[in-house]
Homo-oligomer: A and B are copies of this chain.
């Protein structure tokens, strides 16, 4: 059986990551402890170091996994043909993804783990997800970096306010479409003006 060792190892890693998500959802991403995680998968804490070199390495694996989930979600989304509607749809998917799992969002989108920086490889996945949204913006006529930055920051601001102050509600996120219209209108007419 060639590679059966590697297969078993990868399955174990996947089960550890799955258990880590569960614990993170219970206690927050910051409340995740290696002792508790090890017990959850039937091990002692030092044994986890067989699979992850450090707690930060585990966070990095979770970071990569979370971003892969986001990419899959975007892949599975059917977008309207009309560019602006497609942009709204993409941002709405992003918002929904962020709000459905606060622990995951803390890791992926907020600076919640003190010394954690994702590896170049994992960060690439995050950039890829962001690029998808930026592409939708370009299709909708938002091309300047400043306008893209504004759209990203506004969306993130709505998500953050929603998660912090009214988790599960829509007091902030319900304004997303209106703000997108405002920003896209301004960005596109501004471009016409300066040409």
User: Which residues from B are CB-within-8-Å of A31?
Assistant: 114-115
**Oligomer copy total:** 2
Q: Mark A164-195, 1 if CB is under 8 A from B, else 0.
A: 10000001101100110011001000000000
Identify A160's interface contact among B150, B160, B172, CB under 8 A. B160
Q: Mark A83-103, 1 if CB is under 8 A from B, else 0.
A: 000000000000000000000
Give chain A's interface residues, CB within 8 Å of chain B. Answer: 28, 30-31, 106, 110-112, 114-115, 146, 149-150, 152-158, 160-161, 164, 171-172, 174-175, 178-179, 182-183, 186
What are 20 A-B contacts with C-beta separation under 8 Å? A31-B114, A110-B111, A146-B174, A149-B161, A149-B175, A150-B158, A150-B172, A150-B179, A153-B161, A153-B172, A154-B157, A154-B179, A156-B157, A156-B160, A157-B157, A157-B160, A160-B160, A179-B183, A182-B183, A182-B186
